[in-house]
C-alpha cells in the first residue's frame, strides 16, 4: 500500500513539473475562482436569478444540439444529390468515361481567347494538332489522388515513398453519412483498382461523433465532435505490407558467448497506418503523444470530409491550396506583434494626414 502511494506521489510530482499541465490547471483555477468571486459578491436574490439564467442556457444548449443533428440530416440528404457528380468525376479520372467537347470547354481567366488575333488562333490550333499527334494518350487523369496527397501538407506529412506506388491505384474517395436511426458518424471509403499490394477493393475509416452536451459540463458544448474512429483490416499480399519492416538483430548467448542473427518485424511509417488508429478506451487514459496522434487523426478525417472530397479537382490543380494559404496567419512573437501594430498605426496616421480626412479610432480597426 505504501509503495502504491509512493508511486502515485512520484507521478503527481512529475505531472506538476510539466508546464502544460500547470498552465491548464492554472486556467481552470482562474476560471473557477473568477466565476466564484462574482457569484459570491451577489446578493442571494440575484444569485437565484443567475441560476435561472444558467438553466435557460442549458436548455439553449440542448436546442443547439438538435440543430446540429438536423444539419447532419441535411448533409446526408445533399450528399445523395452530390454523389452522381462525384461518380462522374471518378469515371473521368479512371478513364472509364471520356467527357464530351462541350463538357471540356473552360474559359481560362488568364487567356481571353476572344481577344486573340485570328492568325494566332489558327497557329495555336495547328500546333495543338501536331502535339496531339505526337503525344501519348494517357488514360483518364493519371495520379489524380496521389497528386492531391503530395500537394496537401497535412497528407504529404503522412506520405512515404513506398506508399506512392500503391496510391497510384486509388480511384476514388467517398464520404458516407450515417443513417437517420443510427448514431452520428461518417465513413471515408478509399476505392482501389485491383493491384499487387492487397486484395481489398475498398478501405474504410469510420469516425464516430457526439452531438450532445456533456451532463457534467454542458457549457463546453460547441457542436458535433469526433470522439472515436475505427479503421479496417488490410489484406496484404505476401511481402507487400508497407506498414511493417523486417530488421536483423544480433543476439549473444550469455553463457556460451556465441552470437546468432534473428529477424523480426517492427512498425514502419506509412500512410496506411491511417487505417489502424489508436483505440480510445474508457478504462485507460491516453498519454500525451497518443492524444496528439488521435487529435491529428480526427483533424485529417474532418479535412477529407469537408475539403478534399468535395473539392478534389481544385486540390489537384492547386487552386484550393491558394485559397487555403490566403487564410493562413503567420504566428508572431509578442514583441513582433507590438512592432507590427505600431507600424500599422504609423501607416494609417500617415495615410490620414495625406488625405486630410482623419478617421475615428473605431474605423481604423476595420
Query: How do residues 281-312 score in pLDDT, each as one tens digit?
Result: 777 777 888 888 889 999 999 999 999 999 99
Q: Report yes or no on 85 lying in a domain.
A: yes
- Predicted TM-score (pTM) of the model is 0.70
Number of domains in the chain: 1
pLDDT, position 313: 96
d(CA 357, CA 364): 12
pLDDT at 172 over 90: yes
Identify whether 222 is part of a domain: yes
* Sheet of 170-177, strand order: 170-177, 185-192, 202-210, 225-230
* DSSP letters for 29-76: HHHHHHHHHHHHHS-HHHHHHHHHHHHHHHHHHHHHHHHHHHHHHHHH
| Residues 58-106 pLDDT 10s | 999 999 999 988 998 999 999 999 999 999 999 999 999 999 999 998 8
Q: Is residue 156 part of a domain?
A: yes
Run of H or E including 183: none
Reading the block at residue 41, the C-alpha cell is 459578491
Domain around 159? 12-30+38-98+141-324
Q: Is 168 part of a structural domain of the chain?
A: yes
pLDDT tier at 207, thresholds 50, 70, 90: very high
Which of 195, 301, 290 lies closest to 240, judged by CA? 195
- Quick: pLDDT tens for 307-346: 999 999 999 999 998 766 654 544 445 555 445 555 555 5
**Listed residue (280, 324, 274, 281) closest to 297, CA to CA:** 274
What's the number of CA atoms in the CB half-sphere (13 Å) around residue 265? 9
CA dist., res. 241 & res. 201, Å (int): 16
Residue 86 lies in a domain: yes
Residue 155 forms part of a structural domain: yes
Give the integer Cα–Cα distance in Å for 107 and 110: 9
Residue 54 has pLDDT above 80, yes or no: yes
pLDDT above 90 (res 133): no
Query: Is 90 a domain residue?
Result: yes
Please state, in angstroms and as integers, the Cα–Cα distance from residue 94 to each residue in 98, 145, 173, 227, following that order. Answer: 10, 11, 12, 34
In this prediction, residue 154 has a pLDDT band, given cuts at 50, 70 and 90, of very high
* CA distances from residue 82 to 174, 203, 241, 312 in whole angstroms, order as listed: 11, 21, 35, 13
Report CA 203 to chain centroid distance, whole Å.
Answer: 18
Q: What percent of the chain has pLDDT over 90?
A: 45
For 203-245, the DSSP string reads: EEEEEEEE-S--SS-GGG--S-EEEEEE-----BPTT--TTEE
Least confident of 104-113, 124-133, 143-152, 220-229: 124-133
Pure H helices in 135-202: 144-151, 153-156, 164-167
Q: How confident is the model at residue 13 (pLDDT cuts 50, 70, 90)?
A: very low
* E strands in the chain: 170-177, 185-192, 202-210, 225-230, 244-252, 259-267
CATH (domain of 178): 3.30.1120.90
**Would 197 be classed as within a structural domain?**
yes
Amino acid at each position: 500500500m505504501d509503495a502504491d502511494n509512493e508511486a502515485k506521489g512520484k507521478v503527481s510530482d512529475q505531472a506538476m513539473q510539466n508546464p502544460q499541465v500547470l498552465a491548464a490547471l492554472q486556467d481552470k483555477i482562474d476560471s473557477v475562482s473568477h466565476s466564484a468571486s462574482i457569484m459570491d459578491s451577489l446578493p442571494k436574490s440575484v444569485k437565484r436569478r443567475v441560476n435561472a439564467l444558467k438553466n435557460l442556457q442549458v436548455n439553449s444548449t440542448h436546442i443547439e444540439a438538435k440543430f446540429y443533428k438536423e444539419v447532419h440530416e441535411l448533409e446526408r440528404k445533399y450528399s445523395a444529390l452530390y454523389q452522381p457528380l462525384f461518380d462522374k468525376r471518378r469515371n473521368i479520372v479512371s478513364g472509364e468515361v471520356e467527357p464530351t467537347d462541350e463538357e471540356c470547354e473552360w474559359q481560362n481567366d488568364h487567356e481571353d481567347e476572344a481577344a486573340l488575333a485570328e492568325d494566332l488562333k489558327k497557329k495555336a490550333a495547328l500546333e495543338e494538332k501536331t502535339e496531339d499527334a505526337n503525344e501519348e494518350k494517357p488514360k483518364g487523369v493519371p495520379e489524380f489522388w496521389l497528386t492531391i496527397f503530395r500537394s496537401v501538407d497535412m497528407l504529404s506529412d503522412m506520405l512515404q515513398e513506398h506508399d506512392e506506388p500503391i496510391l497510384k491505384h486509388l480511384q476514388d474517395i467517398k464520404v458516407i453519412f450515417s443513417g437517420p436511426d443510427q448514431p452520428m458518424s461518417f465513413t471515408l471509403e478509399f476505392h482501389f483498382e485491383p493491384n499487387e499490394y492487397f486484395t481489398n477493393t475498398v478501405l474504410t475509416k469510420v469516425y464516430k461523433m457526439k452531438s450532445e452536451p456533456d451532463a457534467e459540463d454542458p457549457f463546453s458544448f460547441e457542436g458535433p465532435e469526433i470522439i472515436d474512429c475505427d479503421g479496417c483490416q488490410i489484406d496484404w499480399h505476401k511481402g507487400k505490407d508497407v506498414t511493417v519492416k523486417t530488421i536483423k538483430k544480433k543476439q549473444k548467448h550469455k553463457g556460451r558467448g556465441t552470437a546468432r542473427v534473428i529477424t523480426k518485424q517492427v512498425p514502419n511509417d506509412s500512410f496506411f497506418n491511417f487505417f489502424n488508429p489508436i483505440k480510445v478506451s474508457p478504462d485507460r487514459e491516453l498519454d500525451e503523444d497518443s492524444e496528439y496522434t488521435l487529435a491529428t487523426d480526427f483533424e485529417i478525417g474532418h479535412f477529407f470530409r469537408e475539403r478534399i472530397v468535395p473539392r478534389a479537382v481544385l486540390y489537384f490543380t492547386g487552386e484550393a491550396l491558394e485559397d487555403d494559404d490566403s487564410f493562413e496567419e503567420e504566428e508572431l512573437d509578442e514583441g513582433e506583434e507590438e512592432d507590427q501594430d505600431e507600424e500599422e498605426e504609423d501607416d494609417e496616421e500617415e495615410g490620414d494626414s495625406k488625405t486630410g480626412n482623419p478617421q475615428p479610432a473605431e474605423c481604423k480597426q476595420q
